[in-house]
Amino acid sequence: MIAAAAAADVERALRDQHGRRIEYLRVSVTDRCNFRCVYCMPLAGLPWLPRETLLTDDEIVQVVRELAPLGLRRVRLTGGEPTLRPGLVDLVARLREVAAIEDLSLSTNGTRLAPIADDLRRAGLDRVNVSVDSLRPERIAELARRREPFDPIAALEAAQAAGLAPIKINVVVIAGRNDDELEMLAALTLDRPWHVRFIELMPVGELAEMEAATGRDPLALVVPSDDVLARLSAMGRTLGRPLQAGGAPARGNGPAAYHRFAGAAGSVGVITPMTHTYCGSCNRVRLTADGRLRTCLYGDHEVGLRDALRAGRPLGPLVHEALAGKPLEHALLTRRIGGLRALSEVGG
């Protein structure tokens, strides 16, 4: 009877106001980044958060420990660039000790991954997502607006050798900037067990402002996923129908729809924030580096956890408050900043 009541409490805690089960927490471990990607951060950067406002390792671990009994099962460490955080390997090891966490992953630009890949795996990291918007050194520098002695293939091979799996490669596709590399990037999956995901650009921030200032429509930078798949289908190998859950990469149940070339070791996927909404199945929330629980990556609804952490107050009531306000769709879809409906209108 007591066990049944506890299970019912957990079931209620797992759902937001729209009935979606929330089990995935993205934890930003730093606001700093060594890139200034054109679609992400202004060239001059942003004012860095004061060190005393950032969550400590103890506080991050405490958040995960308190959310795990509420149904948290997956944790992804992000940034900024998470490999810039001192003591990252130790933090991974501590999070791995939280018994309820089934999947512990890292999103990175890969520039500092190779030297620590083995240490991360030994500490308990399961897998990595690596951003690779180009395979060409000059173009990497152009898109990242930083020059780093960086070979993305070497970083990915180091992750594979360390036993981090599955390896997912994120490519933000920008018309006229890197869309001529789609086939080259997709070909990485033919003889490697890697999963390349092509992500529709969300034209916001400085990049959109730059386009608008020159009289161009920022939406023209978006390459719809249907166009991406059409090009991949013309590569001379059969591109299979979307893989069912059993054929998609193990671990993770994010928004990508996966396909596989005939005989390929890996898969290609598309993530479609602009043309095909997947918000209805959203199962995640984000913890910012300074302790705000944000319920939508592209929204502004958030609840602060840091003060409660430092005062020793329980986080459960604040988490419930946050989930009660989680929006049904991200801000681009609600036309607050353009998006799906605006794009469909442009298309006719």
The domain that contains 332 carries what CATH number? 3.20.20.70
Q: What is the pLDDT of residue 277?
A: 60
Q: What is the pLDDT of residue 81?
A: 97
**Residue 346, marked binder:** no
**Residue 282, marked binder:** yes
Q: Residue 64's domain spans which residues?
A: 2-346
**Residue 204, marked binder:** no
| Helices 316-324 + 2-13 axis angle, to 10 | 50
Provide the sign of the torsion angle of the four alpha carbons 184, 186, 191, 192, taken in this order: positive
Query: Is it the case that residue 322 has pLDDT exceeding 90?
Result: no
**Residue 269, marked binder:** no
**Residue 40, marked binder:** yes
Average pLDDT over residues 146-154: 92
| pLDDT tens sequence across 205-221 | 788 888 888 888 888 99
Render the burial of 158-184: b for 16+ CB within 10 Å, e for the rest: bbbebebbbbbbbbbbbeebbbebbee
Instruction: State how far the Cα of 255 lies from the Cα of 35, in Å rounded to an integer.
Output: 25
**Residue 296, marked binder:** yes
**Residue 89, marked binder:** no
**Residue 347, marked binder:** no
**Residue 80, marked binder:** yes
**Residue 279, marked binder:** yes
Average pLDDT over residues 120-135: 98
Q: Which residue has the higher pLDDT, 39 or 105?
A: 105
**Residue 216, marked binder:** no
**Residue 20, marked binder:** no
| pLDDT tens sequence across 49-99 | 999 999 999 999 999 999 999 899 999 999 999 999 999 999 999 999 999
Asked if 69 contacts 11 with a C-beta cutoff of 8 angstroms, the reply is: no
**Residue 294, marked binder:** no
Considering its fold, how many domains does the chain have in total? 1
Average pLDDT over residues 174-178: 95
Query: Is it the case that residue 118 has pLDDT exceeding 70?
Result: yes
**Residue 107, marked binder:** yes
Q: Lowest-pLDDT range, 16-25, 114-123, 322-331?
A: 322-331
**Residue 285, marked binder:** yes
Identify the band that residue 222 occupies on the pLDDT scale cut at 50, 70 and 90: very high
Averaged confidence pLDDT in the chain: 85
Identify the band that residue 4 occupies on the pLDDT scale cut at 50, 70 and 90: very low
Average pLDDT over residues 245-265: 74
Identify the band that residue 328 occupies on the pLDDT scale cut at 50, 70 and 90: low
